[in-house]
Amino acid sequence: MQKILVTGANGFIGSNLVKRLLSEGNEVRSLVRKTSDLSFLDGLNTELFYGDINDVESLKTALNDVNLVFHVAGLAADWGPYSIFDSVNFQGTKNVAQTAAKAGVKKLVYISTVAFHGFGKINMNEESPVAKNLIPYADTKYKAEQWLWDFQNQTDMKITAVRPGNVYGVNDRTFMLKYLEAMQTGKFMEVNKGRSKTCPVFIDNLIDIITLVSREAKADGHAFIATDGLDIDWHTFNSKLADGLGIKLPKASIPYSVAYPIAKIYYGVHKTLGIKSEPFLTPYRINNGGKDYHFSIGKLQQFFDYQPRTGLDEAVEKTVEWYKKVKST
């Protein structure tokens, strides 16, 4: 049994990770803010530590006598000022890593992102170049990961990074809850008829990968792209979701050449006016749906002979079942 700390434990990925770690018999601490919605942790036997990744004193308390840290906390959004992303994703990561190393933590697993590799290609891998003109989220996650690789040379603490693709599944209120609702209410439109390749990773499969690399010494010092390894386009993925909902997939589609300029103008006006609510359209969302965004899991397969345990049909069924349950309460 290990004593483990999970930052961002109340969120989509964090809560599923906590549940898995507990089921494996570990002692799990959950770092959460006092203002956090803790509903995803209800009924889980995890010790709550109230703090913040930018409050080093709270981190010292949470990290006392911990063996392993999963740093999941971060600001994941495609809009907002750079300074906020830098504070959370970059400075917060530095705080967690430095405090963990001083506390004698043996290993830190950092949840990174594939987003900094950009759009427009298929079969990208861990060595693929970093895109230009990154959104603040992707830029600060990349900066944090690069800092961690430098930091590992100054400490005995081992570091591994996991770069998830488009994560979906149970407890996904950020993406899938809104996406399925739009599909069900007919307020849904594909870009370029959904022909672009995408990179889904079902949450259970992602948790398999995260826990796998935490156990394996040969993962130390490496980053791993985490998707379900599917050769799939958005239309195929969307059709599976619509079938699960028992509806016909809305036929509406907009060309990328039209959608991108509209999104750019809309988002530009949103920023100029200083509107604080989430924008309906952003260039990132149009790129995600209208350009190839596809990755190889060859490194995971090479290192660990990895294959996803949950297939697409089962993953979609579980996701839709969760969505229907949420909408009925």
d(CA 95, CA 58): 11
* Per-residue pLDDT at 1 exceeds 80: no
What are the two backbone dihedrals, phi and then psi, of residue 253, each rounded to the nearest 5 degrees?
Answer: -145, 150
Q: How confident is the model at residue 198, as a pLDDT?
A: 98
d(CA 204, CA 103): 30
Superfamily holding 3-172+199-231+295-313: NAD(P)-binding Rossmann-like Domain (3.40.50.720)
* Per-residue pLDDT at 111 exceeds 90: yes
d(CA 287, CA 294): 12
Percent of the chain exceeding pLDDT 70 equals: 100
Q: How confident is the model at residue 96, as a pLDDT?
A: 98
Joined together, the tokens standing for residue 245 give: 């909902």
- SS3 annotation, the chain: CCEEEEECCCCHHHHHHHHHHHHCCCEEEEEECCCCCCHHHCCCCCEEEECCCCCHHHHHHHHCCCCEEEECCCCCCCCCCHHHHHHHHHHHHHHHHHHHHHCCCCEEEEECCCHHHCCCEEEECCCCCCCCCCCHHHHHHHHHHHHHHHHHHHCCCEEEEEEECEEECCCCCCCHHHHHHHHHCCCCCEEHHHCCEECEEEHHHHHHHHHHHHHCHHHCCCEEEECCCCCEEHHHHHHHHHHHHCCCCCCCEECHHHHHHHHHHHHHHHHHCCCCCCCCCCHHHHHHHHCCEEECCHHHHHHHCCCCCCCHHHHHHHHHHHHHHHHHC
* Per-residue pLDDT at 328 exceeds 90: no
Confidence of residue 273 (pLDDT cuts 50, 70, 90): confident
Domain limits of the chain? 3-172+199-231+295-313
Confidence of residue 282 (pLDDT cuts 50, 70, 90): very high
pLDDT in tens, 145-169: 999 999 999 999 999 999 999 999 9
* Per-residue pLDDT at 270 exceeds 90: no
* Unique residue bearing structure tokens 């961002």: 8
Q: How confident is the model at residue 329, as a pLDDT?
A: 81
Mean pLDDT of the chain: 96
Choose among 232, 213, 233: nearest CA to 299: 213
Q: How confident is the model at residue 77, as a pLDDT?
A: 93
Confidence of residue 250 (pLDDT cuts 50, 70, 90): confident
Q: How confident is the model at residue 277, as a pLDDT?
A: 84
Angle, vertex CA 200, rays to CA 210 and CA 125, nearest 5: 70
d(CA 286, CA 66): 42
Asked if 2 contacts 24 with a C-beta cutoff of 8 angstroms, the reply is: no
**Length of the chain measured in residues:** 329
pLDDT in tens, 215-231: 999 999 999 999 999 99
User: How confident is the model over 129-135, as a mean pLDDT?
Assistant: 95
* Unique residue bearing structure tokens 């840290």: 69
Q: How confident is the model at residue 11, as a pLDDT?
A: 96
Q: How confident is the model at residue 272, as a pLDDT?
A: 86
